[in-house]
Homo-oligomer: A and B are copies of this chain.
Amino acid sequence: MFTVIAERINMTRKRIKKEVWDRNEGFVVEEVKKQEAAGATHIDVNAGGDPSKEVDDMKWLVEVVSGATELPISFDSAKPEALRTGLEICNREGSIINSITAEKDRVDSILPLVVEYNTSVVALTMDDSGMPEDLEGRLKITDDLVKIAADAGVGLGRVHFDHLIRPASTNPGQAVFIIEAIRRTHEKHADAHFAMGLSNISFGIPTRNNLNKAFLAMLVAAGADGAIIDPTEEGMMATLCSARAALGLDEYCMEYLSAHREGKLD
């Protein structure tokens, strides 16, 4: 089972912001349904269009999204009040808070909600000094986050790491150590999960989808068991399905063969 956190309902995207502010329920429902049909396991909801409206927008979005699907929601905010508002409306088995970092303020303000609502959480490997540009730095923060979670009584099975990737166009070679960071995290903390936000790899590059897919295959090979993606992107779920089949994570290719019968791989 791979965790597919579907990223389309994000108000930092201009189109989504407009439709949400217009309170266009049909549009949001359609976004939910097409992501679920494509294979989403979680619907991410980011209401960050305008800080002053975030709580209201989160409330409206979570009401609409939770009415359109039985999937759990990934509540995507750094604002405790927005997270709490969403969780009060819909806290299903599998809910995710997206995200904490190892920054002290972020831990202090958001980790208590993970405990209170018994959710899973996305943990970004950055801290108060920023985002380390080397493997050792990322692994150190990973260990810090493992300890922070343990101290709060949050088991590793509820933590999804995201070793934040920078764009290949501006940071060539960064993917090499990020992949190694996943491999080492997977090796050292076998119970931990992943939720890599992969599309940043292709920022500033044309036909981004090509890079996103190739990078996804690499992440799966390195041990990532989850990602934040757009499952409706062309070939994305076929790549995921193929990567898992190639690696024997989909035993005897049963999931692959069933996706093929449903016409999802052509």
List the interface of chain A (C-beta within 8 A of B).
168-169, 171-176, 179, 201-202, 205-207, 210-211, 213-215, 217-218, 220-222, 235, 238-239, 241-243, 245-248, 250-253, 256-257, 260, 265-266
With a 10 A CB-CB cut-off, give which of A173, A213, A241 has the most chain B CB atoms: A213
In the complex with contacts A206-B260, A210-B239, A242-B210, A172-B248 CB distance below 8 A: yes
Integer count of this chain's copies in the complex = 2
**Are A205 and B169 in contact, CB atoms less than 8 angstroms apart?**
no
**Are A252 and B214 in contact, CB atoms less than 8 angstroms apart?**
no
A-B pairs, top 4 by smallest CB distance, nearest first, are A173-B248, A172-B248, A217-B217, A214-B242
A218: B residues at CB distance < 8 A = 217-218, 220-221, 243, 246-247
With a 10 A CB-CB cut-off, give which of A176, A221, A250 has the most chain B CB atoms: A221
**Are A168 and B253 in contact, CB atoms less than 8 angstroms apart?**
yes
In the complex with contacts A168-B245, A168-B248, A174-B248, A238-B210 CB distance below 8 A: yes
CB<8 Å pairs between A and B, sample of 20: A168-B245, A169-B252, A169-B253, A172-B252, A174-B248, A176-B221, A176-B247, A205-B253, A207-B260, A211-B242, A211-B246, A213-B217, A214-B217, A214-B246, A215-B217, A217-B243, A218-B221, A218-B246, A221-B222, A235-B235
Q: Nearest chain B CB to A63's CB is how many angstroms away?
A: 38
Q: Nearest chain B CB to A194's CB is how many angstroms away?
A: 16
In the complex with contacts A210-B238, A214-B239, A175-B266 CB distance below 8 A: no
A252: B residues at CB distance < 8 A = 169, 172
Q: Nearest chain B CB to A242's CB is how many angstroms away?
A: 4
**Are A243 and B257 in contact, CB atoms less than 8 angstroms apart?**
no
Q: Nearest chain B CB to A246's CB is how many angstroms away?
A: 5
CB closest residue in chain B, given A202: B246
A250: B residues at CB distance < 8 A = 172
In the complex with contacts A168-B253, A172-B251, A207-B260, A214-B243 CB distance below 8 A: yes
Residue in B215, B238, B246, B247 whose beta carbon sits within 8 Å of that of A246 in the complex: B215
A168: B residues at CB distance < 8 A = 245-248, 253
